Structure 1
Amino acid sequence: MLFRDIFFAALSGVPLIGPSATSKHSSSFELVDGPSFTFHYKTDRPSEQNRIGIYSIYGEGPGKEDPIYWDWMRESEETKRIDDAHLNWGAYKAYFLADSGYRVLAGPIDIFLSGDGPISFNVEEFTTKNAREGEKFEARVSGLLHHAPDPNTKYSKESSDAGWVSVSEDGIISGIPSGSGSSKITVRATASDRSTATVDVTVPVVASGKPLVTELTVLSLNLWHGGTKVNDYNRKQISAIANSGADIVGLQESTHGHATQIADALGWQSWQGGDSSIISRYPISEKYGAVTETSVAVRVALDGDNNQVILHNCHPYAYPYGPYDPCFYGKDVDDMMDTEKRASHVRQIDEIVGAMADALDNADKVPVLLTGDFNAPSHLDWTDETNSSHCGIGQFDWPTSKVPIDAGLTDAYRELHPDPAADPANTWSPIYLNNEDYNGRKEPMDRIDFIYYKGNLSPEKSETYMVGDPKPEPDHSDNEWPTDHKGVLVTFKISA
């Protein structure tokens, strides 16, 4: 367990005690000495629904996005410590908010949660979004730094093979590319304690007049309680996603702002949901938000208005979990289907695909993607040829896979790997090999994480994704792979 301390300052010239949002009422809010994230607040408008909201320093704040973390502030005056266990090193903004909403009573207070040094980068190499010759480019890499002791770390360009590149003291790579190809930059960070670290950054540059993005890599990944089951999970998440080459990621079990924190570290954009979230290397041009109880959606501008995609990401409920019927209870296909018809995840998939109807009708103009942990297998995998892998059950039409395909979506993995007997591609679970709730019997292994698509996309490569060789539970806490699922990674060619 790494030691963490708190350093707070008016990072942007904002006073530590935020002004009241209205002239008719008085509220104050400040950090006080004591354990990390201890606040003193006072208001003449107490409410059972007043709260503190912790936001990313890079975000838009109350009314534009949900807080990374929040807690109640119900009294007229109180000193209260907020649990910071879900927050990683870096900068945040805190607001005193009214009535479970986004009206600001006081704040923001800018806060920096420090590490204990020496500093290091989460990755050795990092690739930014694409740039285009002759057009302004900017990418932030400061979020990749780990263990900064305070907000005073300075960044510089140590070396580069491209004269157009500059690196600001706050870690922004910028410039106007003078030619196409890959530009290489080594960025140096120097902390106030004089420790230093470097990261090698690649900026892919396309020629003037050419499409900015011609290939799109998509990842679906369940974070497993935000990653908190594994030590040093945030660094491992950042490294795994950065090294995957993904451009857009659908995340499940991303509660407590974990998606926002990963996106901030990568210099990406995000839409943080309560469970399902989406992060993107390219700008999120529209946030549709929570479109159903178990799904979220965004529109991503890969090249301004010229090239956009819509991504829905979902996490239907797990139980009753279908494979347990034949494997643990010995049920036949009729009983299995009765269970599925009663299961919440079938209704939820109907709702998710129904919410996509307009986008699917327009998919020839704006391609559509659906990622998620569906908590159920696929009818493309449970076939007569694979019955020995599925407790004697042959062909079974799992509704959760039939519904998206019947709506015109294509299973990107199975399109390139059509033989489930030769390539089962199980994503559940590299960690849970035995089920202690069923007397240690072997956990059914299945492909339950998917990427579906419709529109002018062609999958060129599809694979399950995992880093290293993780140990199964209960010996999982130091795994480099910070989750109990494998991810699904698909690279698409974008058709003209």
Structure 2
Amino acid sequence: MRWLISVLVAALVLIGITAPASAAPDGTLALASTALRAGEPITATYSTPRPHAKNWLGLYSDPGNGPVDEKYVGPSTAWTYLTAGSGTATLPTDGLEPGDYIVFALAQDGYQWLAAPVKLRIAGNAPLHFVTETFDLRNARALTPYQATVRGVVRGDTDGVTFREAAGPQWAQVSADGSVTGTPRLSDVLRPSRVRVEARNARGETSTATISVEVRPPGLSLVPELRTMSFNLWHGGSQVDGGREKQLSTLLKSDVDVVGLQESSATSTRELAEALGWDYHQAGTDIGVISRYPIVERKQPGTGPLSVATRVRVRLDDHQDVVVWNVHLGYNPYGPYDACFGKMTQEQLLANEERSGRTPQITAVLQEMRPDLATAWRTPVLLTGDFNAPSHLDWTPRTRRCGYDTVPWPTSVLPAQAGLRDSFRVANRNPVTTPGTTWSPIYPIFTGGYGHDSHKGEPEPQDRIDFVYYAGLLGVTDSKTVVEGKPAAVPNHRGNAWPSDHAAVLTTFRTSAL
């Protein structure tokens, strides 16, 4: 895995075993074509006065998702080594989303430029189509102007795409750019507002979808039900073919309102939000939040233990906000491996939780959340994330996990002590009948590492490590894990309909009491 190679190289540099090339980009890089269709290979011609067996060519989505500052940002979508001082190289584009990309020639398994990067555009080779045939847009209020968009949820050959309304209520209009606008009447709250939208590209291909808009009456809550998801994108969705479309399909089918994202690889948060016509906050290169409703406050990650968390405030209505915290806690050492393979004592497990950084991280995050938690009775608080650790609610005498009666995993005990509730366990109280496993739908077998290589090939400890916590006047009406289809296990995962190595968690809250 290239991200692991880069981490190892960086470590070697720090201890002085090797040093990266320090010269300015003095080579050349050119592409045979800067306009391709998905499936057509990228052919690059290059030269460098600094040949090395580990120089390499990397393809990244553009803008932003690449070593633009000669530093690691996220994984490449395709790569190959450039072993000579000059020559040609090819990169595959099979399964890539249509859009803008950029090619970098980079030095010695690192991220220093050998030449100026080159941009290109990849067009879709699939027929024009909506990601899903039916989906909901944000709620509308009667007598109030409304606006949403469907432009970003068509895929395939979108060259010259335009939109029109094929059928729908009198109040709704669909413009050629995919905007849905209008002012619902009072009478529109009495019937569903369903709009049939047609998309047409320059080749004359068409696709249609039915969108629904719930029209709420004046004076009542605009969002009486809030659907919240925690979703690890697995390196931005780059690990499966057509990952971006599959992510969009998941979000639309789930009819979700607010999503905490992990492993967003710098650009996925923005790209998903723009496709959906939503608001977003990207925090660093890993975590982000997207919201169907406006984000009115944003907080960047802090330093040290707080670097794994971000905060936004979402305005659901004129007098109805919700604060959303999103985290991605440290991953190594991993508690279930230490418990199930290492057979450590409870004291050793808790010491390793501290060593992993997770305990300091969740402690610091909860300390930072204290002002929000103190006013959660007025403004509800959500905490989403990939915690990379189980819950003490799942390791009980009834479950008897790996021989343990109980384990007080700090990343779940401390939120509970701070007044947060685990929405999945509120809705599904029995961990025996409803385990809620999120790690992992594609790793049934342990593949090694984490200090437990002797157990490679044994069953992977399956556990619930992704969460939606809450505090305040919210009522949980449902919570479930989300996985599309029956994903094939690694290494046969590229064609999976599900784009992640985690299951997502989707919780529906009742907000009408606010």
Which of 337, 346, 364 is 2:377 aligned to?
364
What TM-score do the two structures reach when normalised by structure 2?
0.76
SS of aligned partner of 2:68: strand
**Is contact 1:250-1:313 (8 Å) kept?**
yes
2:411 is equivalent to residue 411 of structure 1: no
Which of 182, 206, 211 is 1:201 aligned to?
211
The C-alpha deviation readout for 1:272-292, integer Å capped at 9, x for no partner, is: 231111111111111112242
1:70 is displaced (CA, Å) by 5.7
**Is contact 2:61-2:100 (8 Å) kept?**
no
Which of 175, 184, 196 is 1:168 aligned to?
175
Relative distance call for 1:424 and 1:327 in structure 2 (3 A) is same
2:265 is equivalent to residue 266 of structure 1: no
Which of 385, 388, 391 is 1:378 aligned to?
391
The C-alpha deviation readout for 1:202-229, integer Å capped at 9, x for no partner, is: 1111112221111101011111111111
**Is contact 2:97-2:245 (8 Å) kept?**
no
Corresponding residue for residue 444 of structure 1: 461
**Is contact 1:308-1:367 (8 Å) kept?**
yes
Q: Any unmatched runs of 5+ in structure 1? A: 1-30, 39-52, 57-66, 75-82, 94-109
Number of aligned residue pairs: give it: 416
What letter matches 1:295 in structure 2? Answer: A
Larger strand proportion of the pair: 1
Relative distance call for 1:474 and 1:90 in structure 2 (3 A) is closer
Matches for 1:81-480 after TM superposition, within 5 Å? 88-90=97-99, 114-150=123-159, 152-160=160-168, 162-178=169-185, 179-180=188-189, 181-273=191-283, 274-291=285-302, 292-304=306-318, 306-387=319-400, 390-437=401-448, 438-480=455-497
SS of aligned partner of 2:403: coil
- Alpha-carbon distance in 2 for matches of 1:91, 1:337: 46
SS of aligned partner of 1:420: coil
**Is contact 2:143-2:183 (8 Å) kept?**
yes
1:118 is displaced (CA, Å) by 2.5
- Alpha-carbon distance in 2 for matches of 1:92, 1:355: 38
Corresponding residue for residue 41 of structure 1: none
The C-alpha deviation readout for 1:104-150, integer Å capped at 9, x for no partner, is: xxxxxx99753235211111112000001111001010001112343
Corresponding residue for residue 106 of structure 1: none
- Alpha-carbon distance in 1 for matches of 2:242, 2:33: 25
TM-align CA RMSD: 2.8
**Is contact 1:117-1:149 (8 Å) kept?**
no
1:84 is displaced (CA, Å) by 12
**Is contact 1:88-1:261 (8 Å) kept?**
no
**Is contact 2:197-2:210 (8 Å) kept?**
yes
**Is contact 1:270-1:280 (8 Å) kept?**
yes
Relative distance call for 1:492 and 1:378 in structure 2 (3 A) is same
- Alpha-carbon distance in 2 for matches of 1:357, 1:205: 36
1:416 is displaced (CA, Å) by 2.0
Corresponding residue for residue 99 of structure 1: none
Q: Any unmatched runs of 5+ in structure 2? A: 1-29, 37-41, 43-59, 72-90, 103-118, 449-454
- Percentage of identical aligned residues: 38
2:506 is equivalent to residue 489 of structure 1: yes
What letter matches 2:68 in structure 1? Answer: D
Relative distance call for 1:424 and 1:365 in structure 2 (3 A) is same
- Alpha-carbon distance in 1 for matches of 2:396, 2:429: 12
- Alpha-carbon distance in 2 for matches of 1:358, 1:32: 54
1:91 is displaced (CA, Å) by 7.4
- Alpha-carbon distance in 1 for matches of 2:181, 2:240: 35
**Is contact 2:396-2:406 (8 Å) kept?**
yes
- Alpha-carbon distance in 2 for matches of 1:439, 1:164: 61
- Alpha-carbon distance in 2 for matches of 1:272, 1:84: 29
What letter matches 2:380 in structure 1? Answer: P
